[in-house]
DNA sequence: TCGGCATTTTGATCCTGATCAAGGACCGGT
DNA sequence: ACCGGTCCTTGATCAGGATCAAAATGCCGA
């Protein structure tokens, strides 16, 4: 007997692989979905807030983060259009979330029936989103625990370029050096220096605006990132 | 309609919280389960191996890790009796796993039906295990990205003491300093120095064998760990 | 076009943790 | 008890990245 569980994204766990592109089935048609627009740098929810909803990005970029009591911040992930974030296993949000750029969100009210019943595609997306978060977090532990500043920047640029898919080899960084630093476990100065160094070495090129990166030698970057 | 999905651990996502203690329902009675004993430091599976099974620990301790091409190692997690590890969303293992101490395992063959059908309790455990891995990985990113050596040791000892529950305030470390270092993003010398420093400050006490830690001032440790 | 502001870069110095190198302590076997 | 090996600690020095400080650049609105 094939139950909803098997059709809801866990089956791939046991044989098939997860499709690279998720179905764009998270529409506003369901009665539990509303829209929300958030200005750049505005908060979507705070760490510790009751988790009433989860979110899918229609446009924009979001960061999730944790704070230490003295203000040190760790950005857990950046989310891009199509990504789902804000899923929690417990009662409340263990990370805060805010908009990196102006962002349009689809807000899914968290209800017991949301994952069952009518929308199997949504359930599949939700489970896939959690598994993807887990894989990214595990990969990121390797970066934070064992990679040098240069290697972290190389890994980050490559990963972002794979997700953002601008014209080949070009990435428009939506986030500030500060956000990159807090994601990569560095200071803003170290990020700047590592980026400059990669540019001097010819692995990347930075147009004067400094928020765009052209990957000039992806092979060398990949070798650095391992 | 309540489907298997709702009863299989995702329902807590949307209201209830995950029980602290998982049901001990992963027995050897099912025909897909076998036993395996692994000697200390022996490999259970390698990074990149096809993921044919997942595992539940009957006794012992396991570490999962990734390697960089030059040998740098990041230990993603330690797993204790009752824990499930080796779950993958893709085709193969993204971390390697080996035994820290001699370990007895229940090996669950990975089959499409394993999560459905008869054993709803197993499905619940599997999903809970994945969510727990995600939470631990996210918490660990904060440690690796933003905490000092002393703070890392304090966080690690507290987390371990909560999971191992020896006589109050006492933790028997099953792993070497080397393993601790590769989990905490430090060198073995830094681990040793941080531990010694915490001891001199009176926050912990180390009997001569050095593999047991008595938490003398849990409040101060917690303050360090944040 | 100019001025003000935020962001990024660059420079100088410091410091935490890494590296290199010995010592000690514990454990198992004989 | 002794020996050999492994694990852990300690010491000295080094270096990568942090911190402190300031200059350059880009952006946006007047």
Q: How many angstroms separate the CA of B166 from the C1' of D19? A: 42
- Under an 8 A CB cutoff, do B10 and A127 touch? yes
The H-assigned helical ranges of A53-187 are 120-146, 149-164, 177-184
**CA angle (B86 as vertex; B83, B89 as ends), nearest 5:** 125
Nucleotide nearest to A200 (CA to C1'): C9
Pairing of strands B53-59, B84-85: antiparallel
Instruction: Please determine, for residue A25, whether its predicted confidence score (pLDDT) is greater than 50.
Output: no
Instruction: Please determine, for residue A3, whether its predicted confidence score (pLDDT) is greater than 80.
Output: no
- Domain end point (choices B133, B161, B178): B133
Contact B147, B158 (CB under 8 A): no
Residue A20 lies in a domain: yes
CB pairs under 8 A between A and B: 172
Mutate to test the interface with B, among A7, A138, A152 (most CBs of B within 10 A): A138
- Domain end point (choices B133, B167, B191): B133
Q: Are residues A129 and A152 in the same domain?
A: no
C-alpha dist (Å) from residue B55 to A30, A74, B9, B58, B134: 39, 31, 18, 9, 17
Q: Are residues A19 and A101 in the same domain?
A: yes
Q: For chain A, say whether B111 makes contact (Cβ under 8 Å).
A: yes
More confident residue, A12 or A105: A105
Q: What is the mean pLDDT of chain A?
A: 86
Q: Are residues B196 and B125 in the same domain?
A: no
Please name the member of B68, B89, B127 whose beta carbon is closest to the beta carbon of A146: B68
Q: For chain A, say whether B68 makes contact (Cβ under 8 Å).
A: yes
| DSSP assignments along B78-139, one per residue | EE-TT-EE---SSSB-SSEEEESS-EEEEEEE--GGGGSTT-HHHHHHHHHHHHHHHHHHHH
Instruction: Please determine, for residue A94, whether its predicted confidence score (pLDDT) is greater than 70.
Output: yes
What's the CATH code of the domain at B187? Answer: 1.10.10.10
CA-nearest residue to A146 within chain B is B185
Cβ-count burial of B30 within 10 angstroms (0-12 exposed, 13-18 middle, 19+ buried)?
middle
Q: Are residues A213 and A110 in the same domain?
A: no
Token representation of residue A164: 């953002």
What is the distance between the alpha carbons of residues B156 and B143, in angstroms, rounded to a whole number?
9
Q: For chain B, say whether A121 makes contact (Cβ under 8 Å).
A: no
Q: Are residues A216 and A191 in the same domain?
A: yes
What is the distance between the alpha carbons of residues A126 and B18, in angstroms, rounded to a whole number?
17
Instruction: Please determine, for residue A96, whether its predicted confidence score (pLDDT) is greater than 70.
Output: yes
Sort residue B71 into left (φ over 0), alpha (ψ -120 to 50) or beta.
Answer: left
Range of the domain at A151: 147-225
- Under an 8 A CB cutoff, do B115 and A13 touch? yes
Q: Are residues B16 and B126 in the same domain?
A: yes
Given this model, what pLDDT does residue A118 score?
57
Number of continuous H segments (helices) and E segments (strands) in chain A: 6, 11
- Domain end point (choices B133, B164, B184): B133
Token representation of residue A198: 């990669």
Residue B2 lies in a domain: no
More confident residue, B114 or A85: A85
Given this model, what pLDDT does residue B78 score?
98
Q: Are residues B162 and B92 in the same domain?
A: no
CA-nearest residue to B2 within chain A is A116
Please name the member of B4, B66, B132 whose beta carbon is closest to the beta carbon of A4: B4
Q: Are residues B151 and B129 in the same domain?
A: no
- What contacts A107, CB < 8 A, 6 or more positions away? A33, A34, A35, A36, A53, A55
Residue A5 binned pLDDT confidence (cut-offs 50, 70, 90): very low
Q: Are residues A122 and A12 in the same domain?
A: yes
- Under an 8 A CB cutoff, do B131 and A130 touch? yes
Token representation of residue B114: 């394993």
What's the CATH code of the domain at A33? Answer: 2.60.120.10
Domain count, chain B: 2
Q: B177: closest CA among B155, B193, B201, B162?
A: B193
Q: Are residues B25 and B81 in the same domain?
A: yes
Q: Are residues B129 and B27 in the same domain?
A: yes
Instruction: Please determine, for residue B95, whether its predicted confidence score (pLDDT) is greater than 80.
Output: yes
Residue A141 lies in a domain: no
Q: What part of B 29-48 touches A (C-beta under 8 Å)?
A: none
Supply the pTM of this predicted model.
Answer: 0.88
Q: What are phi and psi of B18, to 5 degrees?
A: -75, 130
Q: A65: closest CA among B185, B141, B202, B41?
A: B141
Q: Are residues B51 and B97 in the same domain?
A: yes
Q: What part of A 75-94 touches B (C-beta under 8 Å)?
A: 76, 87-91, 94
Residue A31 lies in a domain: yes
What tens digit of pLDDT does each residue of B152-177 get?
Answer: 999 999 999 999 978 889 999 999 99
Q: How many angstroms separate the CA of A201 from the C1' of D22? A: 26
Q: For chain B, say whether A142 makes contact (Cβ under 8 Å).
A: yes
- Under an 8 A CB cutoff, do B141 and A142 touch? no
Residue B26 lies in a domain: yes
Residue A174 lies in a domain: yes
What is the distance between the alpha carbons of residues B43 and B63, in angstroms, rounded to a whole number?
10
Q: What are phi and psi of B64, to 5 degrees?
A: -115, 145
Mean pLDDT confidence for B53-57: 97
């Amino acid at each position: 007997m094939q139950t909803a569980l098997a059709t809801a994204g866990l089956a791939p766990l046991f044989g098939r692989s997860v499709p690279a592109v998720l179905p764009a089935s998270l529409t506003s048609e369901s009665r539990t979905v509303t829209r929300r627009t958030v200005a750049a740098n505005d908060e979507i929810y705070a760490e510790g807030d009751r988790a009433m909803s989860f979110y899918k990005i229609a446009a924009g970029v979001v960061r999730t983060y944790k704070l230490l009591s003295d203000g040190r911040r760790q950005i857990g992930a950046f989310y891009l259009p199509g990504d789902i974030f804000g899923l929690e296993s417990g009662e409340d949000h263990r990370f805060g979330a805010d908009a990196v750029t102006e962002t349009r969100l689809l807000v899914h009210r968290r209800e017991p029936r949301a994952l069952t019943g009518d929308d199997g595609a949504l359930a599949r997306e939700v489970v896939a989103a959690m598994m993807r978060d887990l894989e990214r977090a595990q990969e990121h532990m390797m970066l934070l625990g064992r990679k040098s500043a240069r290697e972290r920047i190389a890994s980050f640029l490559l990963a972002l370029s794979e997700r953002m898919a601008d014209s080949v080899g070009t990435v428009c960084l939506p986030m500030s050096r500060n956000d990159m630093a807090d994601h990569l476990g560095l200071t803003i100065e170290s990020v700047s220096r590592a980026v400059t160094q990669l540019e001097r070495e010819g692995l990347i090129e930075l147009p004067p605006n400094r928020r765009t990166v052209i990957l000039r030698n992806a092979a060398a970057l990949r070798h650095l990132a391992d």
